[in-house]
Amino acid sequence: MVLPENMPMVSHTRIGLIERYREFMPVTEKTPIISLMEGSTPLIRADRLAGAISPNLTIYLKYEGLNPTGSFKDRGMTMAISKAVEEGSKAVMCASTGNTSASAAAYSARAGIDCIVLIPKGNIALGKLSQSMIHGAKVIQIEGNFDEALTMVRKVTDNYPVTLVNSLNPYRIEGQKSGAFEICDALGTAPDFHAIPVGNAGNITAYWKGYKEYFAHGKIKRLPKMIGFQAAGSAPIVHGHPIAQPETIATAIRIGNPASWKSAEAARDESGGLIDMVTDEEILEAYKMLASMEGVFCEPASAAPVAGVRKLASAGFFKEPATVVCVLTGHGLKDPDMAIKMASKPITVPANMDALMKVLGY
């Protein structure tokens, strides 16, 4: 089929974040922009949730699950893959708890380059694994955890012509900082608190960079306090030392030695915020509250900031009225096994009206 010359490559009802925030992105007219129209995700005001957590809070949910591959990773990946292609790279590689690999696989497919992913066997949610596979990445499971996988990937990318696309790649951070711009553009100001899950600690680093850049450009007049949350079984920053065998049901943040540890601490300290931890039980309660009270379905790791805000609120942390943005980093469909486990089971009835009316109770 021959397309007319002027046929657009994509629909422009939604634009990718490099195009939206071009002046803040390290691209030139020579950079090939590899995009799937990522970013511009909704900022949803969650009054029922706030009502259940604290009368002092106005809570917004930055629903990052609505990115093209279902997580915030697409923000960083559009930048990282665009720059890799600009620099002539033919292959990229990452270690992942699942979302980075899904995003790297999709953007590599779109760019027509190879993608290799190293994942911890048995600790990847089903949706994420299926994404990497269907996009044609070379998927290698290691009998080890994320931290071990990342060490191995760094050795390969240091020594062979393969581009690292973990968040140690500075272009990942550049793309991901756009989330902060969108929040400020939507609110007309920065929130009082920015609540975020912390795993490998790239995203808290990126958001803080974004807020600081917007502040320096006079787009906002104040900065938020960054409040990060790790899972209790995987909380190296909270404990102040690496965790050799991290554990949590929130597999996305099952990380014992975050690569961006120092810059996460800098974000915490410069903003006057904190990094705390929440138990798996607290995470799952928040996960169910989001789905049942607000109709917002996120994956367990994404519920950590909501669990954390709830924990702080019940300890009397929020003394004044405050606005909190919680970043919901990944979509609930990423981890269908967890949703099925946590919800009530479907009722089975024979295909007749009597049986149906009996269970409906009418």
- Residue 358 to residues 344, 345, 351, 352, 362, Cα–Cα distance (Å): 19, 17, 12, 10, 7
Number of residues that bind ligand F0G (CB under 6 A): 22
| The binder of ligand F0G chosen from 39, 98, 224, 233 (CB under 6 A) | 98
Which residue in 69, 97, 263, 323 binds ligand F0G (CB under 6 A)? 97
User: First vs last Cα of the chain: how many Å apart?
Assistant: 56
| Stretch of residues binding ligand F0G (CB under 6 A), selected from 239-247, 285-293, 294-302, 311-319 | 294-302
Q: Is 100 a residue that touches ligand F0G (CB under 6 A)?
A: yes
Does 201 contact ligand F0G by CB under 6 A? yes
Q: Compute CA distances 183 → 46, 64, 178, 313, 327, whole Å.
A: 15, 12, 9, 22, 10
β 57-63/322-328 pair status: parallel
Site residues for ligand F0G, 238-277, by CB under 6 A, read: 252-253
Partners of residue 163 on adjacent β-strands: 92
Residue 82 lies near ligand F0G (rule: CB under 6 A) = no
Span interacting with ligand F0G, options 153-161, 207-215, 299-307, 351-359, rule CB under 6 A: 299-307
Angstrom distance (rounded) from CA 255 to CA 151:
12
CB atoms within 10 A of CB 121: 12
Could you say whether residue 167 binds ligand F0G (CB under 6 A)? Answer: yes
Which one among 16, 39, 175, 202 touches ligand F0G, defined by CB under 6 A? Answer: 202
Give the C-alpha distances (Å, rounded to integers) separating 273 from 265, 340, 345.
9, 35, 40
* 145 contacts ligand F0G (rule: CB under 6 A): no
Cβ-based neighbours of 70, under 8 Å, separated by 6 or more: 99, 102, 127, 131, 330, 331, 333, 334
Q: Which stretch binds ligand F0G (CB under 6 A): 55-63, 180-188, 192-200, 315-323?
A: 192-200
Examine residue 199 and tell whether it contacts ligand F0G (CB under 6 A): yes
Is residue 236 within the footprint of ligand F0G (CB under 6 A)? Answer: no
- Residue numbers at the binding site for ligand F0G (CB under 6 A): 71, 73, 96-100, 167, 197-203, 252-253, 299, 301-302, 329-330
